[in-house]
Structure formats: structure tokens, C-alpha cells
Amino acid sequence: MKDEGIERFGGTKDIAETHKFDQAKLEEYALAHVEGFQGPLEVRQFKGGQSNPTYQLITPNKKYVMRRKPPGKLLPSAHAVDREYKVITALGSTGFPVPRTYCMCEDESITGTIFYIMDMVEGRILWDPQLPDIPREGRHAVFDAKIKTLAQLHNTDYKAIGLEDFGKPGDYFARQISRWTKQYQLSETQQIDSMNKLIDWLPGNIPGNDEVSIVHGDYRLDNMVLHPTEPKVSAVLDWELSTLGHPLGDFTYHLMQWYMPNDAGSTNTLLGCDFSALNIPDKDAYTRAYCEHTGRDGIENMDYYIAYNMFRLAGILQGIVGRVRDGTASNAHAAAMADRVKPLSDMGWEFAQKAGAV
């Protein structure tokens, strides 16, 4: 059984017409700013990267990756490739699994928008969390590697690596709810009653245990490169949504894979799986593993966190829908996201009711 996500979103393609740029200018820039770079340069575009167009830079000696801000009308604070570069570079100094970065270019005359260049890390990018392409006996170890890596991120001393100013410490949920409410409303294409209820209820019911760590913001299986043969995370990718925030917001977003329904399309999840047969941890076992790696006794207010993350994901997807409307979406399948916004909002409101909403 081949992982369909690889076919739909993995690999490269010819550069989309709306994302083309002067490749000769990029090659000249890379020769001057990327250590060891040698031409000639060939450029391909990755099929994934719904938010920031991502390119494979192929040279005779090695491959690199370029992430750039998309052209056109953009939402406020979105597509922050400069923030991605900053956090990847800082984490790389600690041995955390991220690609090596080379340069951040804010000169828009090179490609039309700002961009950065990093190593391309070879390995496996998997899309189906049930891991159909991995033998049963090897699956649990992949989940162990994923959760240890997330715990390593949350345990990192952000001040010690120069990220004190990477976000506002404290009040993470309030700020995120405000951000995604605004971005949802700017991108709104339909009235969804459950989403409006979440927007009203979530800000006044935030749990009181405030903590601060680096958060990835979109930590999931297909945003990491696994070692070619070992159950080991070689690189965590796509740091656009990273900031200083609450680690439990980050972990419970990752845990959404166990709560969301399959949509028979672009999203495969773990809801309703036979975990024993698959040799994959259920959500309770996975939560215990996270707690063990981060020194926690457990996690309270789980229903609130799941409601919040359903709302947040609905907001993210609505932003993609809005970019389809505005002509700036960079993934051919982005229009399909529209069908997922209401089910996520409805499920979020169900968890909000479990948490006490009326």
C-alpha cells in the first residue's frame, strides 16, 4: 500500500507560473552567500508547502532547499520565513534535528520576495500516520522518535540560544485565539455557527497554568524527515508558525491526529484505529510518553485544548481557502481545504461543550 500523500504532496514539479523568478539572479546570489555553492543551478518546486513556496536547488555537488515568501496579497504576520530562518539557525546550534541554514536574503530584487537557503536533508517524509509502508514491528519506534523530538524542543532553554525575543512569553492561548480569529475573519468565505461560538467561548475559558517554551506550531509526521533506514528524526521542517508559546498547546495540536476524522481525501488520521494490531500507541499511551519526557504528572483540561486546536486548525485551513480566493495559494489541492473547515469547527464546539461550554 503506497502512501498516497507522497504522490499528491511529495516530490517536486516544474515551477508554477505564479512562483517563477529569475534563476540567474538566484545563482549569482548563492555563489556569493552559500558556503561551498557551485553552479550550474537547476531549480524545481516542491509539491507541498501550501503557505510558503519551497524549491529544490540542484547543483552538481549537492541539493539545497529555498523557502520564500509568496508573491501577492498576504495576511498580516503570515509567511514569516525570516522567523523560520532564525529559529532553525538557533536550534541547529544545540544539535536539535534541523537542516543547516546558509543565508537569509531580504533583498526582494533577487527572487521578488525574501527567502532563505538551507541544506536538503535526505530521508523519508511519511504522510500516513498509520505507517503502512513500515513493517508492523518498526512502527512504535517511529512514534517514540517523534515524541522524544517534540519533548526535546519543549525542554530547550530558549534564552540560552538567543530566542528571548522570538515571541511574547505568556498569554499564549489568548494571543493565538486572537490571531486566528482575525485571520479566519479576514479569510472567511462562509458563515459557520460553531466557529463563531468557539470564537466567543475560547478566550474566557483558558486554563490557568501558563508555561513558556519554543513551540513548533505545526508538528506532525509530514513536517519531518526520518532517517532513511532508522526510526530517527533527521530534521524537523516548516517552522513558519513557531514562536514562544505554551508547550501543551503544541503537544495537543500534535495529538489531533488521534482525534480528527479521516476525510477520505488529503487527511489520514488515527481515529478509530486498532492500535494494537498496528503496533501504534493510542492517545493515552502517547500522552504518557510525552509527560515522561517532559517531567509531567499528566495533562488536565484536555477537552479545552482539543477544542482550541480544532478552532486553530480550522482557522489555518480557512486561511488557505482565502488564499485560493485571492490567488496566492501555492498548493494545487488547497481548494479542497474548504470542505474541512466546518467539520473541524463542529467537532471543536463538541469538545468545548465537554469542557463546559453551553
Question: Averaged over 305-328, what is the pLDDT?
Answer: 85
Contact 18, 71 (CB under 8 A): yes
Question: Averaged over 289-318, what is the pLDDT?
Answer: 96
Torsion angles phi and psi, residue 63, rounded to 5: -115, 145
Domains of the chain: 4-119 (3.30.200.20), 136-354 (3.90.1200.10)
Residue 210: pLDDT band (50, 70, 90) is confident
- Of 311, 274, 19, 66, nearest to 181 by C-alpha is 311
Question: Averaged over 144-151, what is the pLDDT?
Answer: 98
Query: Quick one: pLDDT at residue 311?
Result: 97
**Per-residue pLDDT for 169 more than 70?**
yes
Query: Quick one: pLDDT at residue 5?
Result: 41
DSSP state of 124: B
Q: Which pTM value belongs to this model? A: 0.89
* pLDDT tens track for 252-294: 999 999 998 876 555 689 999 999 999 999 999 999 999 999 9
Beta strands, E only, 69-131: 101-105, 115-119
